[in-house]
Amino acid sequence: MKDFIRIASGQGFWGDLPNAPVNQAKKGPIDYLVMDYLAEVTMSIMQKQKMKNPEWGYARDFVHVVEQVLPEIKNDGIKVISNAGGVNPKACKDEILKIAKEKGYNELKVAVVDGDDILDQIDELIKAGHTLENMEDGRPVSEIKDELLSANVYFGCQPIVEALKLGADVIITGRVTDTGLTLAPMIHEFGWDADDFDKMAVGTIAGHIIECGAQVSGGNFTDWEKVEDFVDIGFPIIESYPNGDFYVTKHEGTGGLVSEMTVKEQLLYEIGDPSEYITPDVIADFTSITVEETDPNRVKITGIKGHPDTPTYKVSASYNDGYN
């Protein structure tokens, strides 16, 4: 078991800074490069692209990112994990393997996490008694099923953990939780039990902190005037330990700011009940967290608690509804 691992965020959304993941791999030591491309609306955009061309439907710029970090994958052992596969992860895999072969990296191992797309199963699910009610207004999916454009289950981290066990260098997923991208390496490296809900919450909250890229390193900070060098802003890195402690930091010499307040602002981003942050892996409790700035651009997170996960999955769906 490693004493600690460093998990670097390379993208917070599709269209984020294109040089960020490359800088993360080349400007300092990391073990994992995780990239989140999928906002909720992104799935519908990718589905439309796939309808135009069956070879599309994924973040095609991700292929170029992998191409640029192939030396680090081979020489430094960096693992790349991303949901860039969108609605067509297998096509994404094929393109990466093609580029890798052209560059002489014939031994690259690429894994795909598939099965989240349930668009063709909606009728079957309705017949089986699953109403798939809208979480906001309670309407059943049957009311709009004929207009559905996409429907994807949010998987947790476990399929990624299995891919890591198989020795994958690059793992491409469709719709998994943003937090699962970060939790999976911790489980794999430290041997955490999926029923250790405090540890599951640790990885989940670490993932929540870095899932939006540079937001936590000054890019979305209220006191923006305290942030140095937005042009070369450093993306966040999680330094994680087997006992569940972790630090938020960034590469030395990069811009941005990681402080107690930037981390606290990101902790509160896109959450409802802070005592029940629900994911497929765990229900994380934000109310017991301690945030401590131990050094410049280095913040320690402790005291995280978790509760058993729910028996159901969340589905992200989009449908055609004209214009407003």
Among residues 38, 18, 7, which one has the least CA distance to residue 212? Answer: 38
- Parent domain of 134: 5-318
pLDDT score for 200:
99
Residue 323 lies in a domain: no
CA distance linking residue 264 with residue 137, whole number of Å: 31
Residue 29 lies in a domain: yes
Among residues 175, 178, 179, which one has the least CA distance to residue 202? Answer: 179
Residue 324 lies in a domain: no
Task: Say which DSSP state 105 is in.
Answer: -
Question: Based on the structure, what is the number of domains in the chain?
Answer: 1
Q: Evaluate whether 318 touches 150 at the Cβ level (below 8 Å).
A: yes
pLDDT score for 320:
87
- Indicate the SS3 state at residue 37: coil
pLDDT tens digit string along 88-141? 999 999 999 999 999 999 999 999 999 999 999 999 999 999 999 999 899 999
pLDDT score for 249:
99
Residue 72 lies in a domain: yes
Residues of the chain with pLDDT under 50: none
Residue 94 lies in a domain: yes
- Indicate the SS3 state at residue 111: strand
Residue 178 lies in a domain: yes
User: Beta-strand (E) ranges in the chain?
Assistant: 5-11, 32-35, 79-82, 110-113, 148-153, 170-173, 237-240, 246-249, 277-278, 283-285, 290-295, 298-302, 305-307, 315-319
CA distance linking residue 121 with residue 127, whole number of Å: 10
Residue 311 lies in a domain: yes
Residue 17 lies in a domain: yes
